Amino acid sequence: YCGSPYYRGEIITDLYYADLDGDWNRDGDGNFGEPEDSVDGYPDIASGRLPFEDEQEFEDYIDRVKVYEKEYPFENNLVFMGASVYSRTDGWGQRNCEIIVDSIPYKFRDLIKLYNPLADTVNHAWKGDEILNRYNAIAQLSSGSNIIAHFDHGDVWYTGTGIILGGSKVYSSDFQNMGINGVMLSVSCYSNAWDKESFGEGFLKFSGLGYLGNIKSGWTPQAIMERAFFEGIFKDSLYRLGDLWMKSLVGDIYFRYAFQLLGDPSLRVWWRRPDSLPFYSLPVNLKQGANSVGFVAEGEEKPASGEGFIYQPSSGVFYSTQIVNGEGKIVATIPDTGMVIVGIISPEYYPVIDTVEVERAGTIVYIGASADEKRFHITMKSIEREPVHIRECGIVGKSGIIKVDSFPAEILPGEVFSVSGNVPADAENISGNLSLKLTEVADSLVFPVFIPVKLPDIALHSIRIGEKGIVERIGIYNSGDTTSGSITYGFLWWKDGKKHALFRTHAPLLPGEGFVDDNPIMLPAEYDSIFFVLNREILPFSPEEPVDSVTDFEAVPGDSTCTIRFNTLVSNRYNLYIDGEIANHTPISEKIWEFTNIGYRPHVVVIRPVSPSFVEGLPIYIDTI
């Protein structure tokens, strides 16, 4: 149920699955999402819907995604379709498109503008490239377009091409004979009514990869949603479709209920014609157990950013690392032999993906390591069918050999065992190659190791547990005065005497810096005991809410101005929104802000931490001034 001035009544919304805060039925009356319920109306995760009725429609969509990711099959990059909405000269659609175009860096303006009327001959506020009509719209869509922004009237089965001017319509059935289109967004009425055979559903079934639009009535103030979508691309460097949908959910609560996503939210969205990485380096030799893996990605003019990853389907092990200044590194423990998938994903370039065979490392596999100020311990496992015997063991590092003074003489088949030694004085970590010499094997077994010993004050800030054992967020913060090393975190649990683990890594944190991992983790349904592991600390955990909140709030009105003052429990940077519009040009760290040219009436102010941040990027305070 939506209680907005724009719409009062029942509405189907997928925001229910994405907004995980509060209680959608707090008052218990069975009407979800009312003003009386405790819903903030902002998504916490990305949610998309694939409106397919049979297996063939799904397979056709997947085939289009594969072509899109590898070939960029479009003649047009950006297409803007705008029309006057209430009168011939109001230019609502054209003006909105012009605002978006002006926000795009000039060198990326590979675009075409279809307007109706074509130009503003009085005030010269807009001028299109072609008239927006059915013929031109279908011509552009038939030739293939990457991102299409539409602003005109619409209904369940069509979008308009200047309805108020007598223009014709583009119907959902028109896409049956078209090639691939990318992502389309429109604030027209009902065009995304996926509970019916809607325009957006036809777009996704026959041609497109993603559609953002209204399940009910559209409103001209929703122009801010289309602008936010493009701001997410060209200002915030977002490239996942779900992230862009989340970015676009601004303005009135009805707008956020109605504006929904059809398509895969994990789809990467090209923001320009991509290039191939001219130079890259992927791992070519991987062994069972621990591997130190490097990635290199070089663009045409500079090192490329992105993500390097390793995935082993047989074990479900997934590792990734951010590629910064063209380089990234993973220490990956791969439990099985066989195939792994390795690759590089960069926002500006086609993905590079290959497969590598994991070779058997020998009779011993590396599992993990830990250290305190005095001793280090390395855990390993025998994968041999017969007992083996250790003759010699040590770690060869840059500063010399670190002695391992405790290890078992005999290791039985399948046995998990530890080797240990003294931590050198003042060592912050132990890194090098662990060398094992066995009686039964001629060559030494070598394992790269990196064991943090003395770390800054890396602290678990919050863990949020959702329904069905899903970890929705993990917040980690460096409260020390030195930069940390790479951070390893995750869960360790025991079931029927067997240990299981799921770990992730994060780049080093500067003092006072934090991060939030909001990629969900599914915990096991059953376990005997479970712990959260942060570097070398093993911690019990329980659900808890984030503590970043406003401790006091003051609004001092003036002559067409209002000064906002607030304090928070922790230090961070913030964005302030007034009536759904961002008020500050850059994030603020001071807890004071002055709004100018503000009308004499009630205004809604929202304070949001800037993401990525250990304070989760959620609205932390909402008030009316």
Which H or E element spans position 422? strand 416-422
3-state SS string for 79-143: EEEEECCCCCCCCHHHHHHHHHHHHCCHHHCCEEEEEECCECCCCCCCECCEECCHHHHHHHHHC
Backbone angles phi, psi at 21, to 5 degrees: -85, 155
Q: How far apart are CA 487 and CA 452, in angstroms?
A: 9
Please report how the helices 223-234 and 92-103 are oriented relative to each other, as an axis angle in degrees rounded to 10.
20
585 contacts: CB under 8 Å, gap ≥ 6:
none
Q: How far apart are CA 491 and CA 476, in angstroms?
A: 14
Query: For residue range 445-497, what is the model confidence (pLDDT) as tens digits?
Result: 888 888 877 555 677 766 766 666 678 778 887 777 767 767 888 888 777 77
On whether the CB atoms of residues 195 and 12 are closer than 8 A, the answer is yes
Q: What is the pLDDT of residue 620?
A: 47
Residue 471 identity? V
3-state SS string for 357-417: EEECCCCEEEEEEEECCCEEEEEEEECCCCCEEEEEEEEEECCEEEECCECCCEECCCCEE
Query: For residue range 518-544, what is the model confidence (pLDDT) as tens digits?
Result: 888 887 877 777 777 887 677 655 444
Buried b (16+ CB within 10 A) or exposed e, 421-442: bebeeebebbbbebbbebeeee
Domains along the chain with CATH numbers: 55-263 (3.40.50.1460), 279-359 (2.60.40.1930), 364-452 (2.60.40), 458-539 (2.60.40.10), 550-624 (2.60.40.10)
In the predicted model, residues of the chain with pLDDT beneath 50 are 542-548, 611-620
3-state SS string for 10-23: CCCCCHHHHCCCCE
DSSP character at residue 424 = P
Q: Is 5 exposed, middle or buried (0-12, 13-18, 19+ CB in 10 A)?
A: exposed
Q: What is the pLDDT of residue 259?
A: 97
On whether the CB atoms of residues 382 and 366 are closer than 8 A, the answer is no
User: pTM of the full predicted structure?
Assistant: 0.59
54 contacts: CB under 8 Å, gap ≥ 6:
none
296 contacts: CB under 8 Å, gap ≥ 6:
279, 280, 281, 326, 327
Q: Which residues pair with 54 in a beta bridge?
A: none
On whether the CB atoms of residues 437 and 390 are closer than 8 A, the answer is yes
Q: How far apart are CA 245 and CA 259, in angstroms?
A: 9
Cβ atoms within 10 Å of 402's Cβ, excluding its own: 21
Q: What is the pLDDT of residue 272?
A: 81
What is the end-to-end Cα distance of the chain in Å, rounded? 26
Radius of gyration of the chain (CA): 28
Q: What is the pLDDT of residue 544?
A: 41
Residue 497 identity? G
- Closest C-alpha to 460, from 492, 428, 491, 489: 489
Residue 202 CA to chain centroid, in angstroms?
Answer: 27
Strands, E assignment, 197-271: 210-214, 259-263
Q: How far apart are CA 42 and CA 256, in angstroms?
A: 7
Show the tokens assigned to 283.
Answer: 């791992």
Could you give the 3-state DSSP secondary structure of residue 527? coil
DSSP character at residue 164 = G
Q: What is the pLDDT of residue 291?
A: 77
